[in-house]
Structure 1
């Protein structure tokens, strides 16, 4: 009798025990899911925070293989951006060239003091000979990034810089990133297909890749110009409609 009562009690408690265990298991699963979601959010927010804001100016290098447009990260490397942009405004990169094209790695612009085919004036040479303090950051070296060239001295950058043709994490924190390519990836792919030869550590193009000319513009001003053009068109259309109605009502 006692055995039956114990067995019956055990059977009666089994569903409740299973229910409690199931509820506990669900709580544990929800806790794990919550932590996974939290880690995912933190990781993605961190990744977004690492993406710096481009300023409105754009620079275009017109090469014998097509155009390359890029923008600047003044919040990341303000002194470097000021220096490179001044070199562009002075026309220092005109007739310069890409002395290095290592497929999947970098396309590197030569120092303007030695890479130009045209002579430099005094103002150009003075700016080109300046060295810039190394403004290293947490921004990653990935395809399209602009990164200053330098010697072993971290503060020896002048006017040579590389356009990344692939991811290069071993350069992170070692070279100053100051911008990225905004248009012209098709031109970069053309450069990667050109014949090259190796000289020491450098992979160099067989034929000269010349920066024929360069120019710059401001995306905010361009936007305003476009808006003004649209407004003028609307005003002109309105004037035509007013005149049509006037002729209809007052022939």
Structure 2
């Protein structure tokens, strides 16, 4: 069970998804995500890139994969946590230190990403809802995060 304040619930258009935050793996990323959640940054944001058998990506305010928050990018906190089903990890551009607000949830094992992307959480319930998110790159009429809340 996650300690108080380290559980993130995403209410999505497909149903709730509960993520256990892992500050032990990526303390700066978790603090950044919490700040964005407190500011309602993720409310209404689309799952803009969803690849069957791979992952569902969200966190772009424009819904295109081109944007981030008003805050500076984060320094990478790569760790040994494996990219497996339910892993929540930061998306980034080519630079390792370019993660900002976009993240993805793995549908299946994606071990080729290990130690190249910052893992900061794990889905502990609602993975069946992630499984039903509409696929596409970009997604037409995408599913969304209705609201994000910490507990």
List gaps (5 residues or longer) in structure 2.
none
Q: TM-score, normalised by structure 2?
A: 0.88
2:57 to 90, 94, 108: 108
How far apart, CA to CA, are the structure 2 residues paired with 1:207 and 1:157?
25
- Tell me what 1:150 maps to: 92
Q: TM-score, normalised by structure 1?
A: 0.55
Larger RCO, structure (CA 8 Å, separation 6 or more): 2
How many residues are treated as equivalent by the alignment?
147
How far apart, CA to CA, are the structure 1 residues paired with 2:143 and 2:70?
20
- Tell me what 1:161 maps to: 103
- Tell me what 1:7 maps to: none
- Tell me what 1:215 maps to: 149
How far apart, CA to CA, are the structure 1 residues paired with 2:124 and 2:16?
11
Of Structure 1 and Structure 2, the greater helix share is in 1
How far apart, CA to CA, are the structure 2 residues paired with 1:54 and 1:67?
17
Moved beyond 3 Å, runs of 4+? 53-56
CA gap of 1:115–1:204, structure 2 versus 1, over 3 A, is: closer
Deviation of 1:212 (Å): 1.5
Deviation of 1:132 (Å): 0.5
Counterparts of residues 231-250 of structure 1 (less than 5 Å): none
Deviation of 1:54 (Å): 4.4
Which of 1 and 2 has greater Rg? 1
Asked if the contact 1:150/1:158 (under 8 Å) is kept, the reply is yes
> What is the alpha-carbon root mean square deviation over aligned residues?
2.0
How far apart, CA to CA, are the structure 2 residues paired with 1:115 and 1:92?
13
CA gap of 1:163–1:128, structure 2 versus 1, over 3 A, is: farther
List gaps (5 residues or longer) in structure 1.
1-52, 117-124, 198-202, 218-251
